[in-house]
Amino acid sequence: MKSLALVSLIMFALSFCGLSEKLKSLQGSANSSSNSSTNSPTSSSKTNSSSPGSDKATLTPAQEQAIAGGDTISWDQQGLSWTVPKGWKKMDVSKTSFNYQSPDLAFLLVNISEMSDDFPMDSSLKAYYDQAMQQLKQGHYESVRMLNIDGIDGVEFVESAPEQKDGIRRHQWIGYRSYLGQKQMVNVMTSTDQSKFDKHKDDFAAIMYSMKTTK
Q: Which residues lie below 8 Å from residue 60, measured CB to CB, with a gap of 6+?
A: 39, 42, 202, 205
What angle do helix axes 121-137 and 2-32 make, rounded to 10 degrees?
A: 70
Q: Which residues lie below 8 Å from residue 118, measured CB to CB, with a gap of 6+?
A: none
10 Å CB burial of residue 2 (0-12, 13-18, 19+) is exposed
| Cβ atoms of residues 43 and 147 within 8 Å | yes
| Cβ atoms of residues 80 and 212 within 8 Å | yes
Helix ranges (DSSP H) in 99-193: 121-137
In the sheet with 168-179, reading across from the earlier edge strand, the strands are 55-56, 141-149, 152-159, 168-179, 182-193, 107-114, 97-101, 89-93
- The pLDDT of residue 166 is 86
Cα dihedral value 186, 111, 46, 194, nearest 10: -160
Q: How far is CA 154 from the centre of its chain?
A: 10
Mean pLDDT of all residues in the chain? 84
Which domains does the chain carry? 2-34+42-213 (3.40.1000.10)
Q: What number is the average pLDDT over the span 170-195?
A: 97
Instruction: Answer yes or no: is pLDDT of 3 > 80.
Output: no
Instruction: Answer yes or no: is pLDDT of 72 > 90.
Output: yes
The maximal CA–CA distance of the chain, rounded, in angstroms, is 51
| Cβ atoms of residues 183 and 116 within 8 Å | yes
Cα dihedral value 178, 181, 182, 183, nearest 10: 30
Q: Phi and psi of 28, rounded to 5°?
A: -65, -40
- The pLDDT of residue 214 is 87
Q: What number is the average pLDDT over the span 91-119?
A: 97
pLDDT digits 0-9 by tens, 130-179 = 999 999 999 999 999 999 999 999 999 999 999 988 899 999 999 999 99
